[in-house]
Structure 1
Amino acid sequence: MTDLADRYGTRTRPPWLWWVVAGIGIALGVAWAGWIALQPRPVTTEVFSYDVVSDSQIDLVLEVIREEPVAVTCSVYAQAQDHSIVGEKTITIPAPQKDRELHDVSLTTTERAVTGVVRSCEVAD
């Protein structure tokens, strides 16, 4: 019988090759994540406070921070104890007088909510 290595030959890869490939992949991933994280955000929004008024209403105060005076459209929702969505609303906030403002939002809910969440906030068309 003949040895397959004698018949077809062998390929030898240096042992450090996979370490170099992995290092390059990790470096590219970190560079991409850093680039995404450092992109400017035209609008930053978060729930400043909330008040559960009743089993069918929750009031939110949104903090909206904008670098430029532009109108924004925000989508907010209320969650119940089991994390189900029990109410939601999309609102348009006009261009501001200041770069940082607080806005009141009242949501009607189908059952008692325990928190309010900002889903998204984007520059209005």
Structure 2
Amino acid sequence: MTDLDARYGRHRRPTPKWLWPLVATIGITIGVAWAAWASWTDVPVHQARVHSYEVVDERTTKVDLEIFRDEPVALSCRVFAQSQDKVVVGEKTIEVPASDRDVRVVGEIRTERRAVTAVLDSCEPV
């Protein structure tokens, strides 16, 4: 291979010296703005999960929910019962009263046929 750069010259644009400091400044500004917004929001943090479930019979499934909250806020949780073929065979909305501590709530889902599992769909503030 011949030295083409020596023969024809290289036309490479140098990166401006101000480019990377500008990119870093914009990134830091966006990060600080997001952190400030996240710390000032008034939305209470809550989490929920299915602790356990029990298929009682062909028409009933019990679900035990664990609720974790930072603030005492009432919640409305939707749970589903699913059959072997993953079809939703029952659903229920469980109202969880406000509380200062983590709680467990048991609900009973009426099903149209035998379920094999219970799934938490959502828990939203009331």
| Long gaps (5+) in structure 1 | 1-13, 15-23
Counterpart selection for 2:110 from 104, 108, 112: 108
Counterpart selection for 2:85 from 74, 82, 86: 82
What is the TM-score with the length of structure 1 in the denominator?
0.66
Deviations 1:47-79, CA, capped at 9 Å, x for gaps: 000110000000010000011001001110100
Q: What's the CA shift for 1:43? A: 1.3
Tell me which stretches of 4 or more aligned residues in structure 1 moved more than 4 Å.
none
CA distance in structure 1 between the aligned counterparts of 2:106 and 2:60, rounded to whole angstroms: 13
Q: Is the 8 A contact 2:44 2:71 kept in 1?
A: no
| Long gaps (5+) in structure 2 | 1-12, 14-22
| Aligned residue in 1 for 2:69 | 66
Q: Secondary structure at the match of 2:123?
A: strand
Instruction: Report which of the two structures shows the higher radius of gyration computed on alpha carbons.
Output: 2
- Give the alignment of 1:18-97 within 5 angstroms: 42-96=45-99
Percent identity among equivalent residues?
40
CA distance in structure 1 between the aligned counterparts of 2:55 and 2:94, rounded to whole angstroms: 19
Report how many residues are paired.
Answer: 95
CA RMSD of aligned residues (A): 2.7
